[in-house]
Amino acid sequence: MTRPVGLTLPVDARPIRTDRLLLRPLTEADADDVYSYQSLPEAVRYLPWPLRDREESREHTLKRAGFTRLAADKDAIILAAELLGPDGEPGPVIGDLSIFLQSAVNAQVSIGWVFHPVRHGRGYATEAARAVLEFAFTDVGAHRVFAEVDPRNMASVALCLRLGMRLEALFLENEIFKGEWSDLSVYAILEREWGAGR
């Protein structure tokens, strides 16, 4: 039996204000800020990104700047995390977050994140990811949101747990990632679990 379509599409990116951040679509003007973290080995260690030079990074940002709408499976929205000044004035982009529509019919969404290492340890990623989860559940209408994490990536694992995501699966040596067999953990949260924690 065909199941009813779970989501009302398309869903467009929109600016989201949190206490300290403005989450909004990436633009070409963010290329240098993105390069400042995308060029660091520690930032891309567990991301499916190579180390890019400035021009490659600019092209990558330009491409991702076009990801602003979820209309079909595998579409993505990329949001830049802009650090606001004390009076809410615009600031640098210190990281970015991805929202992937994995299955419209099953209302499944995945998320990802990266922040500049000098900005780690201050709760910015938690603040941004909470807002992105809220966006995924309210604007997108997700039933389940998951993140795929290399279990060695302890900061990302800790972030999942802070967000209330549960470990659902651990795949052992399921892929050769950056030249070595690597494990993959799946962390997830259901809409009702997110709602209960609001």
Q: Which of residues 116-145 bind ligand COA (CB under 6 A)?
A: 120-126
Q: CA distances (Å), 42 to each of 115, 153, 155, in order?
A: 11, 11, 12
Distance of closest approach, residue 118 Cβ to ligand COA, in angstroms: 10
Q: Is 146 near ligand COA (CB under 6 A)?
A: no
Segment lying near ligand COA (by CB under 6 A), choices 21-29, 76-84, 147-155, 167-175? 147-155
Sign of the C-alpha dihedral, residues 63, 66, 72, 75?
positive
**Amino acid of residue 117:** P
Distance of closest approach, residue 191 Cβ to ligand COA, in angstroms: 22
Q: Is 169 near ligand COA (CB under 6 A)?
A: no
Q: CA distances (Å), 121 to each of 5, 148, 151, 155, in order?
A: 40, 21, 19, 9
Which of 43, 79, 132, 163 contacts ligand COA by CB under 6 A?
43
Q: Is 159 near ligand COA (CB under 6 A)?
A: yes
Residues 79, 112: Cα–Cα separation, whole Å: 10
Q: Could you say which DSSP state residue 71 is in?
A: -
Distance of closest approach, residue 19 Cβ to ligand COA, in angstroms: 8
φ and ψ at residue 112, rounded to 5 degrees: -150, 170
Q: Compute the chain's Rg from CA coordinates.
A: 16
Q: Is 35 near ligand COA (CB under 6 A)?
A: no
Site residues for ligand COA per CB under 6 A = 43, 46-47, 112-115, 120-126, 149, 153, 155-156, 158-159
